[in-house]
Structure 1
Amino acid sequence: MASSLKLADPSELAGNWLATPRAAQDTDKSPLVASNECLIDFQPNQTLGAGADCFTAWLGEQAIGWFPEPDGIAITGKEGSKILFFNRQFEGLYQGTLQSGRIITLKRPTR
């Protein structure tokens, strides 16, 4: 059976994305605040450019690349395996959950 989800072309997702972490239960006690936002460059060749160190710090392992999936965006590590998945919420907004339960939103920055 064919899927109704369209696989995005990498060129549609390449470019800058704003990544913002928050606690699973968004409270004032969360140690992660808006100042922890990172601008991450999703390069056309499906590698991560500037800002990739944020994913690396949040995940505890090196984030190297990315690829589109029908329902989101996958972030890959050194071995090319998926280390984080962002579910598509709607056009230009994705959300992923770290093993710690912290949620990271990924959205296109406003111009």
Structure 2
Amino acid sequence: MGMFSESVDVVCTAAGEPQELQWAGRRYTVCADPVRWYERRQWWVEESRAPLGSGPGLVDHEIWRVQVRASDRPQGSDAATGELTLDLTRHIGSGRWRLLRIHDALHPRTA
């Protein structure tokens, strides 16, 4: 698993779930139901102080695990080698998305 912190552009459904993303000059489509959870962050290390009234986003990160396929890849092509599983996080205050992890980067599948 590779760890990153790289900006990505994400298009969401009306329900707020990631649907498409653009990363490293390519467009990807989410090809399985995304999963969301929250992780505790070490805000005391990253922030010099907690502003009064701050809450959501200060203590927890919203994380989405998505399985994506390059949009230019035909549906009938070998899906097993063309899919990636990514963890994304969305900053609650700004709405910006970042790529955190690439799960399939170091584990190529064999036939």
More strand by share: 2
Larger radius of gyration: 2
Give yes or no for TM over 0.5: no
Could you state the TM-score of these two structures normalised by the residue count of structure 2?
0.28
Q: Which structure would you say has the larger RCO, counting Cα contacts within 8 Å and 6 or more residues apart?
A: 2
What TM-score comes out, normalization by structure 1 length? 0.28
Query: Which one has the bigger helix percentage?
Result: 1
